[in-house]
Amino acid sequence: MVKRMIIISMLVVFPILFIHIGKGETMPSFNVSELHNIPLEKNMDTDDFFNNLQIRNKYKEDGWTLLWNEEFDQPQSLKSNWNIENWAAEKNNELQFYTPDNVSVNNGNLHLISKKEEYHGRQYTSGAIHSKDKFYFQYGKVEIRAKLPTGQGMFPAFWMMPNIDNTWLPEIDILEMLGHEPDRIWMVQHYVDKNGKLTSNLDSFVGEDFSLDYHTYAIEWSKSEIIWLIDGIERFRSTVNIPSEEMYLYLNTAIGGNWPGSPDDTTIFPQTFKVDYVRVYQQTGVDS
């Protein structure tokens, strides 16, 4: 299909941008202020332009402004926006070796692939990425749209940690799923209490099989609370020990370990954690 191109013209007197598509066709006008930070490239494809506009306007009515987003449309964005893990996981008695070969971008999705294969002394490989030192933030709305892997021993997660070296607490787990319970999503907050004790504030939501289709998982994080949402509906809320540190994003699929247990004969490999997008919003004109 021949892609139509955008021809952009601006009026000096009125801040209105007219977008003409093809011969004799005119799209509705938009205020230029709506186009803040949208890259306007020469011969820019109309689908890309309007997708960007739609993303940035999605939460505007609730006072949210897009701060950062990863749509996984371009493979090169992995290196520019993320750190790709390459190490043998040493926590929680997990079994996987994270390798860059298990991380890819395909058809507008991030793929974190988990395999049963021997690699550097491990029997399994998997994928993990994080945004430490590349993107981190304090307070806001974080949303992911994803389709989760399944099976005994699989442990997909989307979580946040402070952007500080050698520090993992406090931690916010936006979503965790145990592969043998694909209809249950865990929402967890880890912190050290005033007595120096490691404490977890958590809840789970039981719904449909989350490995069968894409769903959205989000938190709204402010000074006073963290709200977890699944498909836009609140499922858990915490008002205790709310972190104030700037935090970065982490995406991974662990295999085995203390909580999910090891894979067994029922586990089908490979498994893929598919992510359509990750978006971070902040409220403007509001004291978070």
Which active-site residues does the annotation give? Answer: 171, 176
Q: Residue 74 is which amino acid?
A: Q
Contact 88, 97 (CB under 8 A): yes
**What is the torsional sign of CA 59, 60, 62, 67?**
positive
Q: Phi first, then psi: what are they for 254, rounded to 5°?
A: -85, 160
Alpha-helical segments (H) within 61-154: 77-81
Q: How far apart are CA 175 and CA 169, in angstroms?
A: 17
- Alpha helices (H) in the chain, listed in sequence order: 46-57, 77-81
Residues in contact with 76: Cβ distance below 8 Å, sequence separation at least 6, in sequence order: none
By CB neighbour count within 10 A (0-12 exposed, 13-18 middle, 19+ buried), where does 175 fall?
Answer: buried
Cα–Cα distance for residue pair 4/76, rounded to 1 Å: 25
Of 137, 136, 145, give the one whose Cα is nearest residue 109: 145
Report CA Rg, the chain.
21
In the numeric block, which tokens belong to residue 99? 């390798």
Cis bond before residue 170 (omega within 30° of 0): yes
Residues ≥6 apart with Cβ < 8 Å to 54: none
- Residues 96 and 44: their CA atoms lie apart, in Å, by 42
